[in-house]
Every structure is written in structure tokens, then in C-alpha cells.
């Protein structure tokens, strides 16, 4: 059977039927599951592309298509819709971030390390929290972090954390080893989401590139807080009171010495204990280190992050000093 027989008019008629029945009933009637990534985007609404095309084929030819009748899969459906000058949205569900997994793992821990089902009130509550736009801004799949998806993540944490994806395993092990710290982190993440404190007026590509690797709201908040001018100024003042040079604590680079007046007192501030690990704390000057831009990025380049002392050792070994 050819998708070429599907017409623009039959697609619009299928959309009308979708609206009349509602998504759940339309999918059940047409014999399709929810779309995973490709959606017909019509008049600002999203429709499961395969189900729409399958039903539209029946309206055009008298023979509706089932899920097994598509030889080219989702891409062939998208190509046909675009050939009909209709818009297709590609909206796969994003991978779970560390922050999201921490919140899901907290549910599992509270449930005696057992999975939860999609009807559980706490699962529904977490689903609603994760659907806010702070962690994953922009347009999302209609099934994005729905209760079924949250319940499935709790299953993965219970039964697949030993051989599943890296972040699931890492968070599961962290919860087992440091339950109090991880619960504090979960509370901090919830506060960030509910208060909306992690949103900035404009994207910070320099920091977000680092945060994107682990995909964390709390991680982005940590990186932005490291740029707090008040904390940085206090740390510099402390160094001056002690008579210490304003130089990198890793490699000893001094911006003032190298660049003259233009570089005087220029340095970056680094939280020795990551806020996205420790949760919200009252920062003490001893928690901070002054380091140059290059060393700062080397510390944050991969997880687990290096300590200032570890990176100093690497730098000394590399330089042969």
C-alpha cells in the first residue's frame, strides 16, 4: 500500500476526527500507540502522525492502514505529510537529566526501594513538576514526563540501575551511600523549579555547554552562582588581607602580572563543593577558590569534577615541575 494515496483533504478530515474523539480514543480506534517523535503540527496543535496517516489512508481509499502496514516507518509518514505541504514537528522525549533522576529516585527510596505505578499520587505530582519549562524549555512531546513515563523511570531505577544508563546507576548508588545528602539535593531541586530561580534573562552559552553534558537545573544554578560578583569580591578581599597574590590556586597564573592594569584583580571564583551535589548551603569563604579561566574549565570539563588539589597535581606533572 502506498502513502501517495493519502490526500491533504483526508489528513484534515482525520484531524477533525481526532478532535472529535480525543487523542486516547482516536489512537484506540485506529490501532496505534502514541507517536514517539514525529507529530503533525496543524494550527498550533500536535497530532500523532502515524495514526493520522493510517486513518487518512482509509478515508482516501477505503482501506485504513495499521501500525504494521508502514514499510518506511515514521520518516516515510513525515515525508508524505511534508509533501502535502503540512508541517511535521520532530519532538523526541529528551533524556532524563540528573536532577530529574534524583527526584524519581527519591520516590523509589521513600517507597522502600520499590517501583511505583502511574496512578500513585506522588508519581502524578512529580510528573506535573517535571512538565514545567525550567529543565527542558521549549515545545515538548505531548507525552513528555507523563505519569506513565515517571513510573517507568522508577522501574528502571529499581530493576535496571545495576546495568542501565550511567546517570541512573550513579544516582541510585549516591542515594544508597548518602541518603541524607541526596534528599537535601532533591529538596534544593524542587525549590529551584518551584521558585524559578534558575531562569536567566538570556542564555549563557559558555556555562550551558558544561551543564548540557549532565543536563542539570541545579548544575546550571551552581555555575551561575560561581559568577556571583559579591562572593568573588569578598574572596579577593580575603586574599589581599592575607597578603596573597590574586593568582590561580591551581597554576599560579596572575592576570595582573601578564596583562598589567587591565588584568589587575581579574580571576574566577570556584565552589570547592559542588552546589548541585551538596544542595543549598550557606557559602563560606573557605568553600571558594580563586582560579584562572582555563583551570576552571578543566575542573568542570568532565564528571566527577576534579578538586583544586587534583588539578594542581595534574598541572605540575604535565609541566614536569
Over residues 39-60, mean pLDDT? 96
Tens of pLDDT along 251-302?
A: 999 999 999 999 999 999 898 876 555 545 566 788 889 999 899 889 877 7
pTM, two decimals, is: 0.68
- Measured CA to CA, the distance from residue 216 to residue 222 in angstroms comes to 10
Q: Calculate what percentage of the chain has a pLDDT beyond 70.
A: 85
Mean pLDDT of all residues belonging to the chain: 86
pLDDT over 80 at 164, yes or no = no
Q: What is the helix (H) or strand (E) element at residue 225, kind and residue range? A: helix 217-225
DSSP code, position 165: -
CB 196 within 8 A of CB 113: no
**Nearest CA-CA partner of 194 in 286, 273, 280, 291:** 280
- Measured CA to CA, the distance from residue 132 to residue 194 in angstroms comes to 9
Which pLDDT band holds residue 137 (cuts at 50, 70, 90)? confident
| Residue 278 C-beta-side C-alpha neighbours within 13 Å | 11
Task: Count Cβ atoms below 10 Å from residue 209 Cβ, excluding itself.
Answer: 12
Number of residues that make up the chain: 321
Amino acid at each position: 500500500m502506498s502513502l501517495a494515496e493519502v490526500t491533504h483533504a483526508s489528513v484534515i478530515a482525520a484531524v477533525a476526527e481526532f478532535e472529535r474523539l480525543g487523542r486516547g480514543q482516536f489512537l484506540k480506534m485506529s490501532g496505534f500507540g502514541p507517536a514517539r517523535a514525529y507529530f503533525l503540527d496543524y494550527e498550533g496543535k500536535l497530532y500523532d502522525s502515524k495514526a493520522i496517516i493510517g486513518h487518512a489512508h482509509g478515508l482516501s481509499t477505503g482501506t485504513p492502514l495499521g501500525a504494521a502496514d508502514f514499510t518506511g516507518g515514521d520518516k516515510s509518514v513525515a515525508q508524505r505529510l511534508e509533501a502535502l505541504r503540512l508541517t511535521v514537528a520532530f519532538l523526541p522525549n529528551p533524556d532524563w537529566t540528573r536532577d530529574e533522576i534524583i527526584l524519581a529516585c527519591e520516590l523509589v527510596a521513600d517507597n522502600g526501594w520499590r517501583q511505583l505505578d502511574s496512578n500513585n499520587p506522588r508519581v502524578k505530582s512529580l510528573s506535573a513538576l517535571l512538565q514545567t519549562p525550567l529543565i527542558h524549555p521549549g515545545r515538548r512531546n505531548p507525552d513528555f514526563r507523563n505519569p506513565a513515563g515517571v513510573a517507568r523511570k522508577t522501574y528502571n531505577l529499581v530493576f535496571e540501575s545495576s546495568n542501565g544508563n550511567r546517570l541512573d546507576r550513579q544516582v541510585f548508588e549516591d542515594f544508597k551511600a548518602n541518603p541524607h545528602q541526596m534528599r537535601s539535593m532533591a529538596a534544593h531541586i524542587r525549590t529551584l523549579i518551584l521558585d524559578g530561580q534558575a531562569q536567566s534573562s538570556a542564555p549563557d552559552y559558555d556555562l550551558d555547554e558544561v551543564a548540557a553534558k549532565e543536563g542539570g537545573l541545579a548544575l546550571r544554578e551552581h555555575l551561575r552562582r560561581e559568577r556571583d560578583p559579591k562572593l568573588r569580591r569578598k574572596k579577593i578581599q580575603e586574599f589581599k588581607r592575607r597578603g596573597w597574590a590574586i593568582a590561580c590556586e591551581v597554576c599560579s597564573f596572575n592576570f595582573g602580572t601578564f596583562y598589567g592594569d587591565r588584568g589587575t584583580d581579574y580571576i574566577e571564583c570556584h565552589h570547592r563543593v559542588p552546589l548541585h551535589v551538596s544542595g543549598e548551603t550557606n557559602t563560606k569563604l573557605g568553600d571558594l577558590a580563586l582560579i584562572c579561566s582555563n583551570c576552571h574549565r578543566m575542573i568542570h570539563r568532565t564528571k566527577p569534577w576534579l578538586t583544586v588539589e587534583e588539578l594542581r597535581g595534574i598541572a605540575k606533572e604535565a609541566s614536569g615541575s
